[in-house]
Amino acid sequence: MSVEEAKKNAAYQAVDENLMNNKIIGIGSGSTIVYAVKRIADWGKQDIICIPSSFQTTQILIHHGLSIGSLNEFPVVDVTFDGADEIDEDLNLIKGGGGCHVQEKILAYNSKRVIIVADFNKDSKVLGEKWKKGVPIEVIPSSYIPIMKKIEKMKGIPTLRMAVNKAGPIVTDNGNFILDADFSLIKNPLNLELELIRIPGIVETGLFVDMVDGCYIGLEDGSVKKVLKK
């Protein structure tokens, strides 16, 4: 079973078991979400409004002919489907490898239910076990150097995320920079989240703590591991 097949299996089962009669659907970002959007389109429900978390997601929704709305129009979302870079055994996440975690977190916060779809490479006991690129942190550009120094005092290793096909750092959809901060194994993500978010200039972190209602993880043998919030 390839990684792509695992993603597809997880996304299809997640949508089939959670779309139901919900009307306002949040859509996260990333490669797994492509399969979730296709499955939503397969349902053929004309009354669904999808709220995207990024420019990329908006383009995918347009491609599948789905109706698009915003949180300003629909401030309460019935269910959000999203991916993750890593999932721990308590359903806490690291997100932001694609740079969309601020909008994704806003969407999740305003959702009645949040369902995560992922492949077996994202399943960990502790955050930082498999995801070695660090916690994505979106920051105001003028503050990134002081923030990096604060993170170093917290025993983290911060790196300014650089663009691939342009000179200089990546700029998010919100016009900000992203720092990737390596804290090794994160045994208490809530404490780390609270400590980081107090630093002026940090817009949001890629730590999603106690925000998820269920995870669908596609496994190598073709099955799907379903973990629901305790």
Predicted confidence at residue 185, as pLDDT, reads: 97
Token pair for residue 167? Answer: 């000179």
**179 CB burial (10 A radius; 0-12, 13-18, 19+):** buried
Residue 152 φ/ψ, nearest 5 degrees: -60, -35
Block mean pLDDT (10 aa), the chain, length 230: 93 96 94 95 91 94 96 97 96 94 96 97 96 97 98 97 88 95 97 98 97 97 94
If asked whether residues 105 and 216 sit together in one domain, one would say yes
If asked whether residues 150 and 170 sit together in one domain, one would say yes
Predicted confidence at residue 1, as pLDDT, reads: 72
The CA-based diameter of the chain, rounded to the nearest angstrom, is 52
If asked whether residues 64 and 98 sit together in one domain, one would say yes
CATH number for the domain spanning 88: value is 3.40.50.1360
Predicted confidence at residue 179, as pLDDT, reads: 98
Helix (H) or strand (E) holding 113: strand 111-119
If asked whether residues 47 and 7 sit together in one domain, one would say yes
If asked whether residues 120 and 158 sit together in one domain, one would say no
Helix/strand/coil for 94: strand
Predicted confidence at residue 230, as pLDDT, reads: 79
The catalytic residues are 104
Q: Is residue 129 part of a domain?
A: no
**The whole model's pTM is what?**
0.94
Enclosing domain of residue 28 = 3-124+209-228
Residue 2 φ/ψ, nearest 5 degrees: -75, 165
Predicted confidence at residue 141, as pLDDT, reads: 97
If asked whether residues 200 and 221 sit together in one domain, one would say no
Q: Integer distance in angstroms from the first to the last C-alpha of the chain?
A: 29
Torsion, CA 5, CA 35, CA 24, CA 215, rounded to 10: 20
Q: How far is CA 52 from the centre of its chain?
A: 12
Helix (H) or strand (E) holding 136: strand 135-139
Predicted confidence at residue 202, as pLDDT, reads: 98
Helix/strand/coil for 186: strand
If asked whether residues 220 and 184 sit together in one domain, one would say no
Predicted confidence at residue 44, as pLDDT, reads: 87
Predicted confidence at residue 45, as pLDDT, reads: 81
